[in-house]
Amino acid sequence: MEPTQTDPNSESFTAVGLLSKMPRQGGYGPAATGPITSDPYHHPAAGWGATLSVGRIIATQRAPLAGTKAMFTMNQSPRGFDCPGCAWPDDQKGLKLDICENGIKHVTWEMTRKRTTPEFMAAHTVTELSTWTDFDLENEGRLTHPMVYNPRTDHYDPISWESAFAMIGEELRALESPDQASFYTSGRLSNEGTFLYQLFAREYGTNNLPDCSNMCHEASGRALTASIGTGKGTVDMHDWENADALFLLGVNAASNAPRMLTALAEAHDRGAQVVHINPLREAASTRTIVPHDLKDMARFKTHQTSTMNLQVRPSGDFALMRGIAKVVFEAAAADPSVLATQFLEEKTQGLEEYRAVVEATPWEQLVRQSGLSEAEIRAAAKVYLESERTIIAWCLGISQQRQAVDTIREIANVLLLRGNIAREGAGPSPVRGHSNVQGNRTCGVNHHPAPALLDALDRECGIVSPREHGLDTVQTIKAMNRGDVKVFVGMGGNFVLAAPDTEHTAAGLARCELTVQVSTKLNRSHLVHGKKALILPCLGRTEKDLQESGPQGVTVEDAFSMVHVSHGTRRPASPHLLSEPAIIGGIARATLPDSATPWERYVGDYASIRDVMARVLPGFEGFNELIQNRGGFRIPQPAREGEFVTASGFAEFSAAELPEAIPEGAETLVLQTMRSHDQWNTTIYSNNDRYRGVKNGREVVLMNEEDMRERGIAEGTAVDIVSTSLDGSTRELRSYTALRYDTPRGSAAGYMPEMNALIGIEDYSRQSDQPIMKSVHVVIAPAAG
Ligand X SMILES: Nc1nc2c(c(=O)[nH]1)N[C@H]1C(S)=C(S)[C@@H](COP(=O)(O)OP(=O)(O)OC[C@H]3O[C@@H](n4cnc5c(=O)[nH]c(N)nc54)[C@H](O)[C@@H]3O)O[C@H]1N2
Instruction: Please give the residue ranges that form the binding site for ligand X (CB under 6 A).
Output: 86, 102, 186, 188, 212, 215-216, 249-252, 255-257, 277-280, 282, 312, 314-315, 317, 395-397, 400, 433-434, 491-495, 498, 518-521, 523, 538, 540-541, 580, 672-675, 679-683, 752-753, 755-756, 773-774
Question: Which CB, 249 or 701, lies closer to ligand X?
Answer: 249
498 or 590: whose CB is closer to Mo ion? 498
Q: Which is nearer to ligand X, 50 or 339 (CB)?
A: 50
Question: Minimum Å distance from CB 528 to Mo ion?
Answer: 21
Nearest to 672 by CA among 747, 765, 567, 763: 747
Note the maximum CA span of the chain. 79
- 61 vs 673, beta carbon nearer ligand X: 673
What, of ligand X, Mo ion, none, does residue 675 touch, CB below 5 to 8 Å by kind? Answer: ligand X
C-beta of 207: minimal distance to ligand X in Å? Answer: 19
Give the rounded distance of the alpha carbon of 402 from its chain centre: 17
DSSP string spanning 280-296? S--GGGSEEE-TT-HHH
Single-letter residue type at 739: L
From the list Mo ion, ligand X, none, pick the one residue 282 interacts with, judged by a Cβ distance below 5 to 8 Å according to partner type.
ligand X
Residue 317: contacted member of ligand X, Mo ion, none (CB under 5 to 8 Å, by partner type): ligand X
In whole angstroms, how close is the CB of 400 to ligand X at the nearest point?
6
Beta pairing class for 730-740 and 651-652: unpaired
In the complex with ligand X, which residue's Cβ is closer, 397 or 604?
Answer: 397
Nearest approach in angstroms of CB 752 to ligand X is 3
Q: How far is the CB of 663 from ligand X (least distance, A)?
A: 13
Nearest Cα to Cα of residue 182 among 547, 514, 527, 584: 514
- Angle 64-73/47-60 helices, nearest 10 degrees? 130
Min CB(676)–Mo ion separation in Å: 15
- Binding partner of residue 315 among Mo ion, ligand X, none, CB under 5 to 8 Å per kind? ligand X
User: What is the amino acid identity at position 358?
Assistant: V
Distance in Å, CB of 285 to ligand X, minimum? 9
DSSP notation for 594-610: T--S-HHHHHH-HHHHH
CB of 545 to ligand X, least distance (A): 11
- Residues at the interface with Mo ion (CB under 5 A): 216, 433
413 touches, from ligand X, Mo ion, none (C-beta below 5 to 8 Å by class) = none
Q: Which is nearer to ligand X, 633 or 680 (CB)?
A: 680
Hey, is 727 helix, strand or coil?
coil
State the amino acid at position 210 in one-letter form.
P
Which lies closer to ligand X via its Cβ, residue 201 or residue 312? 312
Q: Rounded to 5 degrees, what are φ and ψ at 415? A: -65, -45
User: Which of Mo ion, ligand X, none interacts with 495 (beta carbon under 5 to 8 A by kind)?
Assistant: ligand X
- Of 425 and 433, CB closest to Mo ion: 433
For the chain, percent helix, then strand, then coil, each to nearest 5?
Answer: 40, 20, 45
Partner whose footprint covers residue 395, from ligand X, Mo ion, none (CB < 5 to 8 Å by kind): ligand X
Q: Which residue is nearest to Mo ion (CB)?
A: 433
279 binds, among Mo ion, ligand X, none (CB under 5 to 8 A by kind): ligand X
Cβ proximity to ligand X: between 191 and 348 the closer is: 191
Q: Which is nearer to Mo ion, 554 or 773 (CB)?
A: 773
Question: What does each C-alpha distance from 530 to 150, 259, 261, 471, 583 come to in angstroms?
Answer: 11, 40, 43, 19, 20
| Binding partner of 688, given ligand X, Mo ion, none, CB within 5-8 angstroms per partner class | none
Pair type for strands 730-740 and 273-277? unpaired
Please say which residue, 587 or 616, places its beta carbon nearer to ligand X.
587
Residue 752 binding target from ligand X, Mo ion, none, CB below 5 to 8 Å by type: ligand X
Cα separation, 211 vs 636, in Å, equals 24
- Is 238 strand, coil or helix? helix
Partner in contact with 518, chosen from Mo ion, ligand X, none, beta carbon below 5 to 8 Å by kind: ligand X
CB of 583 to ligand X, least distance (A): 8
To Mo ion, the closest distance from the beta carbon of 212 in angstroms equals 6
CB of 247 vs ligand X, minimal distance in Å: 10
Question: Taking a C-beta distance cutoff of 8 angstroms, is the pair 741, 704 a contact?
Answer: yes
Nearer to ligand X, 29 or 314 (CB): 314
Of ligand X, Mo ion, none, which one sits near residue 404, judging by CB under 5 to 8 A according to partner kind?
none
Shortest reach from residue 315's CB to ligand X, in Å: 5
Determine the Cα–Cα distance for residues 762 and 462; give it in Å rounded to an integer. 39
314 contacts which partner out of Mo ion, ligand X, none, CB within 5 to 8 A by kind?
ligand X
* Residue 19 or 216 with smaller CB distance to Mo ion: 216
Least distance (Å) from Mo ion to the CB of residue 101?
A: 19
Bridging pattern class, strands 427-430 and 390-394? parallel
Query: Of 433 and 632, which CB lies nearer to Mo ion in the complex structure?
Result: 433
User: Which residues are CB-neighbours of 710 under 8 A, at least 6 positions away?
Assistant: none
- CA of 152: how far to CAs of 108, 126, 155, 272, 531, in Å? 36, 12, 8, 65, 11
CA atoms of 109 and 106, how far apart (whole Å): 5
Task: Determine the Cα–Cα distance for residues 589 and 656; give it in Å rounded to an integer.
Answer: 49
Q: What is the identity of the amino acid at 289?
A: I
Q: Please identify, using beta-carbon distances, which residue of 192 and 652 lies nearer to ligand X.
A: 192
Rounded least distance, CB 327 to Mo ion, Å: 33
Partner whose binding site includes residue 171, from Mo ion, ligand X, none (CB under 5 to 8 Å by kind): none
CB of 489 to ligand X, least distance (A): 11
Distance separating alpha carbons of residues 599 and 608, to the nearest angstrom: 10
Q: Residue 410 is inside which H or E element, if any?
A: helix 404-417
> Are 706 and 745 spatial neighbours (Cβ–Cβ below 8 Å)?
yes
Output 26 or 433, the one with its CB closest to Mo ion: 433
Assess contact for 216 and 437: CB atoms under 8 A.
yes
DSSP 229: S
Nearer to Mo ion, 284 or 719 (CB): 284
123-130 contact pairs (CB < 8 A, 24+): 124/155, 125/153, 125/154, 125/155, 126/154, 126/155, 126/156, 126/527, 126/529, 127/21, 127/154, 129/522, 129/527, 130/18, 130/21, 130/22, 130/527
User: CB of 216: closest distance to Mo ion in angstroms?
Assistant: 3
The item of Mo ion, ligand X, none sharing an interface with residue 188, based on CB under 5 to 8 Å by kind, is: ligand X
Partner from ligand X, Mo ion, none binding residue 753, C-beta < 5-8 Å depending on class? ligand X
Q: Which listed option, Mo ion, ligand X, none, makes contact with residue 553 (CB within 5 to 8 Å by class)?
A: none
Q: Could you say which DSSP state residue 490 is in?
A: E
Q: Following DSSP, what letter does each residue of 415-437 receive, concatenated?
A: HHHTT-SSSTT-EEEE---STTH
Smallest distance from Mo ion to CB 480, Å: 22
- Cα–Cα distance, 395 to 228 (Å, whole number): 19
